[in-house]
Amino acid sequence: MADDTLPTPPWRTPAKTRPVRPVLSQDGIVDVALRIVATDGVEGVSMRRVAQEFGTGPSSLYAHVANKEELLALMLDRVSAGVELPEPDPARWKEQLRELAFGLFHTLRRYNDLAGASFANVPTSHSALRISEWMMALMTGAGLAPRTAGWALDRLFLYITADVYEGSIYLTRVRRAGTTPDEFAKAYFGQLHDYMASLPADRFPMMSAHAGAMTEGDGDVRFAFGLDLILDGLDRHLDSAG
């Protein structure tokens, strides 16, 4: 039996130690994929790339995840699970929907362009169904017809994910420019403002006169504005149902 307290004789080859590989699991694979997408986006996530993080080959992952499409769905499910849902209060339906929308907006924004993976897919994961069930209960409880509530749910999800996805494209341009979001916005929208203001007033009187109004407001402010347009519009359907 070898005595680990003794030094290794110089004429012997020291025993090599192999790093312990992390145990593969579906949760662990999703963890790694989310870390990758936060920095490199959806294009950076591949079965090979994730497998490399575990020191193994892509084939090892298929016992836990069928393919990249399923992996993206699992990632969205994990992200959606972090959205908190209070007890539905129909008397505050607009305020609660607004809070949910902002919560989902800020949560998805931490993961680059992952929101785009939800396009053209009906959300059927546990986390997505949990949110949809909550929204339906809130809106129908407030008096909206089930079809109106269902369509509103669909439009709200699309608005949130599309805004987040466009924002991820914008941030990619910021990173490529090697600057900060504030500096990039100041330069880009400053140029856009000057260009619109310089348009021939006889052909574009509104654009040239209101360039300042059209180019002001950051992403959060504009998101809130669009969200309020949707929620205020639902009031008309609420009155019709009543």
Integer angstrom CA distances of residue 195 from 79, 208, 219: 40, 9, 21
pLDDT higher than 60, residue 1? no
107 and 203 in a single domain? The answer is: yes
pLDDT category, 197, cuts 50, 70, 90? very high
In a domain, 77, yes or no: no
Q: In the chain, pLDDT over 90 holds for what percent of residues? A: 79
**CA pair distance 164, 223, nearest whole angstrom:** 9
Using one digit for the tens of pLDDT, what is the confidence trace for 136-172?
A: 999 999 999 999 999 999 999 999 999 999 999 998 8
Using one digit for the tens of pLDDT, what is the confidence trace for 164-179?
A: 999 999 988 998 899 9
In a domain, 78, yes or no: no
40 and 134 in a single domain? The answer is: no
Which residue, 86, 132, 82, 134, is CA-closest to 110?
82
Kindly report the CATH number assigned to the domain that includes residue 1: 1.10.10.60
Q: What is the pLDDT of residue 6?
A: 72
Mean pLDDT for the chain?
91
**CA pair distance 19, 124, nearest whole angstrom:** 39
In a domain, 75, yes or no: no
In a domain, 74, yes or no: no
pLDDT higher than 90, residue 125? no
17 and 95 in a single domain? The answer is: no
103 and 173 in a single domain? The answer is: yes
Domain that holds residue 21: 1-65
What's the whole-number mean pLDDT along residues 88-116? Answer: 96
Query: Which residues are CB-neighbours of 35 under 8 A, at least 6 positions away?
Result: none
Question: How many domains does the chain divide into?
Answer: 2
pLDDT higher than 60, residue 199? yes
51 and 99 in a single domain? The answer is: no
In a domain, 72, yes or no: no
Q: Are 34 and 79 in contact (CB under 8 A)?
A: yes
Q: Are 115 and 37 in contact (CB under 8 A)?
A: no
What's the whole-number mean pLDDT along residues 81-91? Answer: 94
What's the whole-number mean pLDDT along residues 8-12? Answer: 72
